[in-house]
Structure 1
């Protein structure tokens, strides 16, 4: 979902607002506002794909392609082509201002836009790739079909001045369905539905390392060699090379044999001269990049002029090629190294690489570094993160810095990011954020009332809704591990810094609306009913792989649902069958049972036979008995769990409402992500499919609710709860819990040391301790599910403001507002499944130890959800409320044995 740069992987973003920054031209899609900051553009369009070079192209939620910016090849042309005043990359007539591309694309539904140096491509939902613009090296991939006309003077396949301003299909091999594309300077790339990579134009990587004859270069060729048999999932093309990531997370690079100067140099630059390949070996054939990337799963890639930026499943960023300014780190540019700066404390999902600048983004922030001469870094003017040049308001940004603008203020969800020649674009969906930038930096003699207003940029001090100072801690830990991995003294210092960061009290906690203010930004009107949603939904390109893990699901599900009902239902024979409209995904011991039963008091909700069947995470395929869904434990039995609800939905009075719904609350579904459970334990199965991915394909309409609780309290509650079956022994004591927690932390450390953190999370080792590591599971859900369909609640806030939280849940599920009498039933219900009054408070030293242990995971969760409430700085309630507040940082560290730093580094 928008995971790489020019390629944006193979799937569009859910849809949001275009953001732009950099050189102030129409390529930004705007000429107003502050071009030094990411600010909204084309606000009347919902954008699902963005592409950038000297021009920009976007695909909208309506399937249209819009272009803007330069339509010429001045300053270039390629390999013997004179610069053209109209090389045609805008694909339309008119000016450089934004305009719709029509012609042969009219009526086609575009899902991806791609921009090369002087050419453009668009992918339509039927798997056809279209191209237009400069074609001097066959980069359009078009055969010579048709005759010259006034609007399309050159139906040529290649050669000097060959170009076309009208979209036409790329001549892919027969039967090939394209699912994603990328474009460089004079090379184009595409991946088909089987994950195979093709290139054409100025590139010999698909031709045995030999540059094809110019008149034959337009033919798409399959890239093989070391990539043969590999499934490519992310890819991008730069000026002189391209890179591709496989399903396994491996990265391969290859030189396109362009010297970066259109072949105009008397002495051409040798391939890999700038270290852009990040490896040794034959530069003209695909080769794997290893070094520090070994053991990391790369998921997003971007290629600049001659440097690469990639991000991993853990949200880390690695760079190579070019010079230090572009890498965001020191060290050799010829091999991968981890980028430092502000982004170390964030979970990076998107990366970008321009000519002389780089970028990255998490779900909540943009980051930029490199030359800011054209304001491409997004940090604004006068910002001290830059090496300001004498007499200027900008300079070089040597380390990744958080960009400013509305996204930096919160309330936006980033969905994509790309870098152009002298600008950058992104997509972000509004979740209650501001549309305007707030000025923060002034020149030395300016005043706050000065006009015009100076450009805003992010403040280096922490905002009340985030914990950016953790970036400093993370960077210190990363630097320490690089310089001396065995230095326990350095690690302890980093841990102490982390403890100091998190021990401060959130000043906003005393605000009257603290417990409820995070709800509204998560609530959005439902745009489509279930039937329309499924009709519009585009299957994942991994669908065949996903389906093979649980084929019994798709044997039962209908091709679409009956639009007479709000709930997903269909007629099978003489009966109505229904599946859940919503899931309460978990987490166990966080209040899922109470929420479900309060919802069941609403007249529109019809309960299932089993409130939490745990079918998705416990009933394997092939079925091995009834499991929780008699008689066979298969999907047909699971659907029958909702037969009573289906009958009530069928017989409900249509004059009153056809809006009855059903749902379930299996409290371990959320923590079945990250490869832990998939129709039963999955850690020893040869699969890359995860629970969020399976659920998304099986029920893309689901509304999902997740409740988190302070992981320390959740762990303590689970310790007692999962001993209910022990009848002949006295209940455990707080001292027993302290010993158990100490032992399990030791088990965890030993596992991490032996196998790495990812392995230990995936193996639930040890189970209840791991379940409180919410940050390790949330990324799978955020990657596969639109943020609109996820509602995150905090148990402590739910307890403090129950009525307001129930109102938010009902709005999230689009259920009518209850009457006064119905509210009395909903809120008058006794709290369900509450056991905290049945055991004594935990020991002070236990709480201190566990708070220190969970701190790095909470910090990552807070950054991911952009809210400090997930740090759980609130003092615990009850008799054990004072120890954690009274304990010093040193005592916390001593009790945890430095575990915070250990986990942070891992």
Structure 2
């Protein structure tokens, strides 16, 4: 008599096959869990030990019951810091009481800042490129999410007021990320560039495949939404300008203060172009190919100097990106492209701002807030201080007003470079007469002149980085918004005209626009 065969589930415990399956799972998962928790325990231990060492060093330097924060206020005059001095433009030293009872791991210390009134840690980003006022800063300024759009200050702005000059406002903690050693570019030894290369290149050892490294021959600087992407895409179509490069490394202005601090990390951005330069040479053995750095931020981002220990008590940076470039490459070519600061500002706002409510209303409120904050700063500080050490709410704002103060940014380059090494272009002229400007730039870079057909082909290529399709439907800024911006930029445009010539004075363009509207 044959009975029916009983079929058990595959993972059943009372069957040999099921038990074997469970054992296999355990043997594969348990080792991974052990490795994970072992590494986690070690990693947290290292962070905690580093933080304890740092706290111990702080205690050896100052009174353990106080944390010293020196805040320097400057009206263009530097002086020794004094305790308890009046607010008369002199340097002022203030002490804030803090608590050390709840130790925070170092990784959290780097990503957070402390509110000295509540001893609570608040998340803070070290990247000045992020736009928008974050929730953490709303809390720091006693503004909740619901109140952020409704609160009004004396000037009618619905954004929180700045506390730049409030003595009770603690300075944010600014530290380098863990295990990062900052390279002081001004202490670097000058390079010995190879004469058989047009591009600045120098020999290196221990690299048989590529025995040299190259850095940019030219720097294309400017402001966002001023045509730098479009211009760079056309320049690299020239046979003597390498296209094997990232357009915006942003190493000088930003990345050397975060994850890529050493000089070798900058060289890597141009390693493919270096291979191109090394491979191409004429019958005489000369290498004519060049490479450029197209990071617009190189012109206007000088925020991270406040992280440097040697600049602790300064209100303005000793050196800017212009000084660094001139130090390691004094023969560098500088190409700057500018645009009407009012039109640029609105285009920048539309391009980098997200959300369904972005438009002229939100832009108008942002403009009023930034104007209020900037004018408040200028009442007590120099323009250079306010633009290079701005209020934290300004760096996070969607309206990046300070970028359009071109005369201040360009003066940094005219201060260290000869005029014949700097070429400034108006985007409005470049858009109308592209081929003429390309020919002018190629001559400026000392590369071979192109035939008219090739130059025309490059000029007729499709434009790059234009306004998004969704933003085209958004209305233009309000007339009253443009009036506010026109009043702010009036003096700065006059200074730009005196620096570059009246053709670059955008007040003339604004006057022509008013005449047309009438």
- Normalising by structure 2, we get a TM-score of 0.57
Q: Tell whether the 8 Å contact from 1:616 to 1:679 is kept in structure 2 after alignment.
A: no
Indicate whether 1:600 and 2:236 are aligned. yes
Deviation track 1:661-704 (CA, whole Å, cap 9, x = no partner) reads 0011110111135xx44497898575522222222111111000
Whose strand proportion is higher, 1 or 2? 1
User: Does 2:493 match 1:858?
Assistant: yes
- 8 Å CA contact 1:581–1:702 kept in 2: the answer is yes
Contact persistence 1:709–1:796 (CA under 8 A): yes
2:497–2:503 contact (8 Å) kept in structure 1 = yes
Cα distance change, pair 842–756 in 1 and its aligned pair in 2 (3 A): same
CA distance in 1, matches of 2:413, 2:281: 36
Matching residue of 1:550: 183
Paired residue for 1:715, among 345, 351, 374? 345
Equivalent residue number for residue 669 of structure 1: 298
User: Is the CA contact 2:185–2:324 (under 8 Å) kept in the aligned structure 1?
Assistant: no
Conserved in 1, the CA contact under 8 Å of 2:191 and 2:328?
A: no
* Cα distance change on mapping 1:808 and 1:711 into 2, 3 Å: same
Give the distance between the partners of 1:764 and 1:829, measured in 2 at CA.
Answer: 39
Q: Which residue of 1 aligns with 2:377?
A: 751
Distance change (3 Å), C-alpha of 1:749 and 1:553 = closer
Q: CA deviation at 1:730?
A: 1.2
Matches within 5 A, 1:419-498: none
Is the counterpart of residue 565 in structure 1 residue 193 in structure 2? no
Tell me, yes or no, if the aligned pair for 2:199 and 2:289 is still in contact at 8 Å.
yes
1:602-641 equivalence runs, <5 A? 602-620=238-256, 624-626=258-260, 633-641=261-269
Query: 1:790: Cα distance to partner?
Result: 0.7
Counterparts of 1:469-868 in structure 2 under 5 Å? Answer: 550-551=183-184, 559-573=191-205, 574=208, 575=210, 576-620=212-256, 624-626=258-260, 633-655=261-283, 658-672=287-301, 676-678=303-305, 686=314, 688-723=318-353, 726=354, 729-730=355-356, 732-765=358-391, 766-767=394-395, 768-835=400-467, 838=472, 839-868=474-503
* Distance change (3 Å), C-alpha of 1:814 and 1:602: same
Aligned residues: 329
Whether the aligned pair in 1 keeps the contact of 2:215 and 2:267 (CA below 8 Å) is yes
Whether the 8 Å CA contact 2:230–2:463 is kept in 1: the answer is: yes
Instruction: Check 1:758–1:577 CA distance in 2 against 1; reply closer, same or farther (3 A cut).
Output: closer
1:115-514 aligned within 5 A: none
How far the C-alpha of 1:831 sits from its partner, in A, is 1.1
Assess, with a 3 A threshold, how the Cα gap between structure 1 residues 736 and 704 changes in structure 2: closer, same or farther.
Answer: same
- Relative to structure 1, the CA distance from residue 695 to residue 680 in structure 2 (aligned partners, 3 Å threshold; closer, same or farther) is farther
Contact (CA 8 Å) 2:220, 2:295: kept in 1 or not? yes
**Does the 8 Å contact 2:339/2:428 carry over to 1?**
yes
Residue 875 to residue 783, structure 1, CA distance change in 2 (3 Å): closer
Preserved contact between residue 219 and residue 335 of structure 2 (Cα < 8 Å): yes
The structure with higher relative contact order (CA 8 Å, sep 6+) is 2
How far off its partner does 1:715 sit? 0.8
Q: Is the 8 A contact 1:582 1:662 kept in 2?
A: yes
Contact 2:490 2:507 survives alignment (8 Å): no
Answer whether contact 1:608 1:663 (CA < 8 A) is retained.
Answer: no
Assess if the C-alpha contact under 8 Å between 1:619 and 1:634 holds in 2: no
Name the CA shift for 1:804/1:294 in 2 (closer, same or farther; >3 Å): same
Q: Report the Cα offset of residue 853 of structure 1.
A: 1.4
Question: Do the aligned residues in 2 keep the contact of 1:616 with 1:678 (CA within 8 Å)?
Answer: no
Could you tell me how far apart the structure 2 residues matched to 1:759 and 1:570 are? 37
Shift of 1:735: 2.0
Counterparts of 1:618 and 1:698, CA distance in 2: 18
Offset of residue 747 of structure 1? 1.9
Partner SS, residue 615 of structure 1: coil
Alpha-carbon offset, residue 608 of structure 1: 4.7
Q: Give, in angstroms, the shift of residue 554 of structure 1.
A: 6.4
> 1:756 offset after TM fit, Å?
4.8
The 3-state SS of whatever aligns with 1:584 is: strand
Is the CA contact 2:341–2:404 (under 8 Å) kept in the aligned structure 1? Answer: yes
Q: CA separation in 2, counterparts of 1:670 and 1:552?
A: 17
- 2-structure distance, mates of 1:748, 1:609: 37
Q: 1:643 to 1:597 in 2, by over 3 A?
A: same
- List alignment gaps of at least 5 residues for structure 1: 1-247, 252-292, 297-547, 627-632, 888-906
Instruction: Pick closer, same or farther for the CA change 1:785–1:803 going to 2, 3 Å.
Output: same
2: CA distance, partners of 1:679 / 1:636: 23
Structure 2 unmatched ranges of 5 or more: 1-75, 80-87, 92-180
Deviation at residue 551 of structure 1 after TM alignment: 3.6
